[in-house]
Structure 1
Amino acid sequence: MLERIERFYQVFNRILGKILAIVFLLMTLNVFYDVVMRYFFHNSSVGMQEMEWHLFSIVILYGVSVALLDEGHVRVDFLYDRYPQRAKAMINIIGTVFFLVPLACLVLFGSFDFVKDSYEIKEISENPGGLPYRFAIKAMIPVSFGVLIFTAIGYTIKNILLFKKAGSSTELQIIKEDKA
């Protein structure tokens, strides 16, 4: 059962990663267009410049979830790499449950008023020619941290399976050594 749930999270992660790759490509094209317009035609758009950081924000906010399931997140690898697989899985479980999820919940629930205030005042860019609907990009904060909590569940399940697998392989190794 847990294997099927983990596969679901892996498929979700792959789809999210592909969407982010497309967003990153769009951001790259946006930056290319902006640079060409600015340096070759001496014409620049504030809206296009703001779109750069909007797209970059999306890549970073949602990329954290992809990095988590792909083991691309930051940790103290010089210590972590020395531990056996079972200990690594337990560290990941404890770190996710006691550190990542509470912090993500704090940001998730703490950002609702931030987004609500922006929506209520119909916040727009303060720059002339900037993008309207600033609340839309601000809404990515709670949504992305909701996705992070969702993927943290999958990451925990993945590590529970690794913990069990490492435990059973250790038991098999002990049994083989006893027979020898």
Structure 2
Amino acid sequence: MTDSFSKPTNSVARSMLKTADIFEAIILKVSAVCCWSSALLIAVIILNVTMRYGFNNGLILFEEIQWHLYAIGIMFGLSYAEITNSQVRVDVVASMLKPKTVLKWEIFGAVFFIFPTIFVILFNSFDYVANSYMLGESSSSPLGMPFRWAIKAAIPASFILLAMAVLARMFRNIITITQKET
């Protein structure tokens, strides 16, 4: 069976492959930036622990920064995991199926489960972020972080990237299924 990385002969398949390549390149660039949130998270945790237990002076600001950095890593890491095929899945079942059947199930799952979920989250998250911005929402703690809308904006941004990743994967699966075996 051929894979989607060989040159497709169909013009539709070529455009699908080009779109998948563009989406994956964008996701890899965003992921390269967001991966530093983990290093920053470790530094902030060490600093917070040192401040709290070494100097008896923990700051709410550091705790909130930890939550935000963790959210960035997880939310944007979803799309990276999808395009690198490093997400958690049930390989026990997939190992008993034919490769093309696995690809068909992935397409089915994307169309009937993942995309509707992404749509619902995106549909609701834009108002969520806009309301937070219009209200000037900030932390309820006196020394907490302002601009709560900024971290809430990670929700639609990360789910747009996830939609791109799932679409890229689906395009590659469709190309693989429809190509003739050589």
TM-score for the superposition, normalised by structure 1: 0.85
Tell me how large the CA RMSD over aligned residues is: 1.6
SS at match of 1:74: coil
Equivalent residue pairs, number: 168
Q: Counterpart in 2 of 1:36?
A: 50
Amino acid in structure 1 at the alignment position of 2:93: L
> Residues 5-84 of structure 1 correspond to what in structure 2 (within 5 A)?
5-84=19-98
Q: Larger helix proportion, structure 1 or 2?
A: 1
Residue deviations 1:117-142 (CA, integer Å, cap 9, x gap): 21121111001200001111111111
Structure 1: 5+ residue runs without aligned partners?
173-180
SS at match of 1:131: coil
- What is the identity percentage for the equivalent residue pairs of Structure 1 and Structure 2? 30
Deviation at 1:80, TM superposition (A): 1.3
Amino acid in structure 2 at the alignment position of 1:106: V
Rg bigger for which structure?
1
Closer, same or farther: CA 10–150 of 1 in aligned 2, 3 Å: closer
Whether the 8 Å CA contact 1:104–1:145 is kept in 2: the answer is yes
Runs of 4+ in 1 over 3 A off after TM superposition: none
Matched, 1:128 2:142: yes
Closer, same or farther: CA 6–117 of 1 in aligned 2, 3 Å: closer
Distance 2:46 2:178 in 1: 49
Deviation at 1:85, TM superposition (A): 1.5
Residue deviations 1:119-168 (CA, integer Å, cap 9, x gap): 12111100120000111111111121122112221111121223235xx3
**Partner residue of 1:105 out of 108, 119, 132:** 119
TM-score for the superposition, normalised by structure 2: 0.84
Closer, same or farther: CA 22–127 of 1 in aligned 2, 3 Å: same
Whether the 8 Å CA contact 1:85–1:163 is kept in 2: the answer is no
